[in-house]
Amino acid sequence: MTQDSLIIAGKTYSSRLLVGSGKYVDLAQTKAATEASGADIITVAIRRVNIGQDPNAPSLLDVVPQSRYTILPNTAGCYNADDAIYTLQLGRELLGGQNLVKLEVLGDEKTLFPNMPETLKAAEILVKDGFEVMVYCSDDPIQAKMLEDMGCVAIMPLASLIGSGMGILNPWNLSLIIEQTQVPVIVDAGVGTASDAAIAMELGCDGVLMNSAIAHARDPVLMAQAMKWGVQAGRAAHLAGRMNKKFAGIASSPLTGLVV
Give yes or no for residue 194 binding a second copy (CB under 8 A).
yes
Give yes or no for residue 21 binding a second copy (CB under 8 A).
no
Helices (H), the chain: 27-37, 81-94, 116-128, 141-150, 171-180, 194-203, 212-215, 220-240
CA distance 229 to 237: 12
CA distance 4 to 142: 28
**Which one is catalytic: 23, 31, 102, 228?**
102
CA distance 85 to 49: 17
Give yes or no for residue 15 binding a second copy (CB under 8 A).
no
Please check if 212 is assigned to a binding site: yes
Residues numbered 228 to 247 that lie near a second copy (CB under 8 A) are 228-230, 232-237, 239-247
Residues numbered 55 to 74 that lie near a second copy (CB under 8 A) are none
Q: Provide the mask over 73-112, with x wherever binding to a second copy is found by CB under 8 A and - wherever it is not.
A: ---xx---------x--x----------------xxxxxx
CA distance 60 to 68: 13
**Is 145 designated active site?**
no
Determine which residue in the list 8, 41, 42, 45 makes contact with a second copy, applying CB under 8 A.
Answer: 45
Please check if 138 is assigned to a binding site: no
The dihedral over CA atoms of 136, 229, 224, 189, expressed in degrees to the nearest 10, equals 20
Annotated binding site for 1-deoxy-D-xylulose 5-phosphate: 163, 189-190, 211-212
Please identify every residue annotated as catalytic.
Answer: 102
